Amino acid sequence: MKNNIKELRKAMKISQQDLADRCNVTRQTINAIENEKYDPSLQLAFDLAKNLNTTVDKLFISEQ
């Protein structure tokens, strides 16, 4: 699933590790999501959106 996590994270000057700590996951999880190798759980998607000051529907892009 395509996403805007990397762009939003960099705009906020947050490292992968900082975002991971805020969402209670590993840096590797954030990296895998950013590189579209892993789709987050619904709860993690909400946590990511909250920490990046956006909404889930703006964070993830449907590929349909």
Domain 2-59 coded CATH 2.40.160.20: no
* pLDDT for residue 64 is more than 80: no
**pLDDT reported for residue 63:** 74
The C-alpha atoms of residue 62 and residue 25 are separated, in whole angstroms, by: 24
More confident residue, 30 or 63: 30
Task: Please write down the long-range contacts of 57-61, taking CB distance under 8 Å and 24 or more positions apart.
Answer: 58/4, 59/3, 59/4, 59/5, 59/8, 60/1, 60/2, 60/3, 60/4, 61/1, 61/2, 61/3, 61/4
The pTM (predicted TM-score) of the whole model is 0.92
Give residue-wise pLDDT tens across range 6-46: 999 999 999 999 999 999 999 999 999 999 999 999 999 99
